[in-house]
Structures are given as structure tokens and as C-alpha cells.
Amino acid sequence: MPQSQHGVSLACIYQARQRIAGQVLRTPLVHSPALSRRFDAEILLKLETLQPSGAFKLRGATNMIAALIERHGREALEAGVVTASTGNHGRAVAFAASRLGVPATICLSCLVPANKVAAIEALGAEVERVGESQDEAFIEVERLVRERGMTLIPPFDDPLIAAGQGTLGLELMEDAPDLDRVVVGLSGGGLLGGIGMAVKAIRPETRITGVSLSRGAAMWQSLQAGRPVAVEEVGSLADSLGGGIGLDNRCTFGLVREVMDDHFQVSETSIAQAMVDILEHEKLLVEGAAAVGLAALAEHGLEVRGQRVALVLSGNGVALETLDKARQLANR
């Protein structure tokens, strides 16, 4: 297979799998009787909610840090790795670095609540509190890279990150080799791009369906524009799907364009209903970003009858207040 501009191949994903083995959970793919009856299909759930950091992002972060150690030696990472994320990526970098014995610094704005700061510190990372916004925290990350020689671990736009997330696609193909469709939440595109690369290389007929927010979806608007564009960020129950794709995106925009077959947007109400449905019927606590696959099946009536469909339950990072909001919006 030719190595295209995005730099991610099936071989990179197999390498990633070897690197992360033992550090990241090989998660189960479970059959959902309730959802299978509801959609007259075989619905399978990929339980990334079981990852020790709470989300699939541990795959990419572990792969990148381990690959850097492999290529340049541990001494090259002496100053540590750095990123700015309050959410699943920050937790993943903190967790992966601590497991691999590398120092980690997570830059967080002063507006980030104390409980989130404590959670990241508990995973073994140094937290640097700086500025009044995520943007200011990023400026600090750039300074630490420049002045202290730290290494940036980006949340999605790197071939090593996307290849790490792609290991999830290998597991899907092993556990359900005749899968008809995978439904994946889409933000920066590391998850969908990695899974899509693995699945398409092994079984090109399997459809890769992306699901974005209905407002503030940077990848949606960028695909329409044919180039990365900036969007205004809007609050959502699926907060892990917010944020831009980077105007200088060099990997995931091209990758997503290459591997995705269809793409849907979902409303806040259907995300809320899907979160509550998964809690009530599957007894699984998922965050909004992990419920968008079910939200898309319900809201858009995708033609899945008789098919084998995997929904990626990507993470469990949900605050109780957010769950309350979802219940209110779902009216349950």
C-alpha cells in the first residue's frame, strides 16, 4: 500500500499494536441484545470505557511516547512530554508517561476546576496552571517545547497518534471479521482515521461512518470547504468532540477524507437520549462523545437491518452534572 501524505499505513498500526501491548487494554466487543432488537441488526459495542485512563486516547499517547523512546532513546525525553488538555487526552498523556517512566507536564488554564487538576496530578503528571483560556495554555506548551526542550504530544494530528488509535480497528477486524459498518465519533479525526485505515486495509467493504456535532463541528465544515477551517466552539453534551482540527492540519484531515464513507451530524437531544439509553439498557456509563453512534442510528434511521454494526463507546469521562443535563434533555 502506498504511503500517502498523511503518513499512516496498516504496517504503522501493526507496529503500534506491538508497542502498546501490555500498556493498553485490548477491549472487549460485546453484543447488545436490546439494541440489536431495536434496530433489527446485530449491534456490537466496543468498550473503550474500560481503558484505565477512561478513553481510547491512551492508545495513541502510549504509541507516540513509546515510539519516541524507541527511536531517540529515553535521554531524548529527559525534559519530559507536554500537552494542554483538561480532558481525555491530558489524562492519557499523564497515564502513559507515568507507565513508561517519562516525566509529563500538562498545562491547564486557571479556569480549570480543582477536581480536574487533582485527577491529572493523581495520574502522576505535573500540572502547570497558566493563563485564562485553553489558547493561553497552548502558548505555554509552545514555550516549554522551545525553552525547556519538552516534547509535545498532540491530541490527534500526528501519524503516531492516529496509528495508535488504529489498533482499535485491528481488534474489531479480529473479533468481527465480517463487520458491515463501524460508527465512530469524529472530532480531530485521529480515532476515525486510525480505525478507518486499519479496517479498509483489511476489509474494504466495511463502511466507516463518522458522527459529528451539529454545531461547532470543525471537521464537518473543513470537509465541506475542502481545506481545514476554524469554527467557533460551542458547548455540547459531547464536550470531547469540541475544538478545531488545526489550520495547519497535516495528517488527520487527509486521512479522514480517504477512509470515511458517510458522515452524520447529531443533535444535543439525541445525544442525551443515547447517553440515557446506554446507561439504562446496557448499564454502561458513557460520556456524550461515546453515545453519538447510537444517536446517529436513532436520529438518521441509518439502513442497518440485518447488518453487523459496531459502535465505538469511546470514553467514560462524564461529570454528574452533565449526566443530569442529559437526563433533563432526554426527559427521563
Ligand X SMILES: *Cc1c(COP(=O)(O)O)cnc(C)c1O
Q: Which residue is nearest to ligand X (CB)?
A: 315
Q: Does 186 bind ligand X (CB under 6 A)?
A: yes
Catalytic site includes residue 116: no
b/e per residue, 47-57, with b = 16+ CB within 10 A? bbbebebbbbb
Q: Which of 53, 306, 1, 9 is nearest to 178 (CA)?
A: 306
Q: Which of 128, 122, 66 is nearest to 91 (CA)?
A: 122
What are the two backbone dihedrals, phi and then psi, of residue 63, each rounded to the nearest 5 degrees? -60, -45
Handedness of CA 240, 32, 180, 172 (dihedral sign): positive
Residue with Cβ nearer ligand X (58 or 68): 58
What are the two backbone dihedrals, phi and then psi, of residue 90, each rounded to the nearest 5 degrees? -60, -45
Output the smallest distance, CB 245 to ligand X, in A. Answer: 8
Among 188, 216, 242, 246, binds ligand X (CB under 6 A): 188
Among 39, 95, 138, 156, binds ligand X (CB under 6 A): 156
Of the residues 9, 32, 53, 57, only one is catalytic, namely: 57
Residue with Cβ nearer ligand X (79 or 298): 298
What are the two backbone dihedrals, phi and then psi, of residue 13, each rounded to the nearest 5 degrees? -75, -40
Q: Does 242 bind ligand X (CB under 6 A)?
A: no
Interacting residues with ligand X between 212 and 231 (CB under 6 A): none
Among 57, 91, 207, 308, binds ligand X (CB under 6 A): 57
Do the beta carbons of residue 39 and residue 304 sit within 8 Å? yes
Catalytic site includes residue 57: yes
| Window contacting ligand X (CB under 6 A); options: 70-78, 120-128, 137-145, 180-188 | 180-188
- Bridge partner residues of 313 (DSSP): 47
Residues engaged in binding ligand X (CB under 6 A): 55, 57, 88, 156, 185-192, 240-241, 287, 289-290, 314-315
Catalytic residues: 57, 314
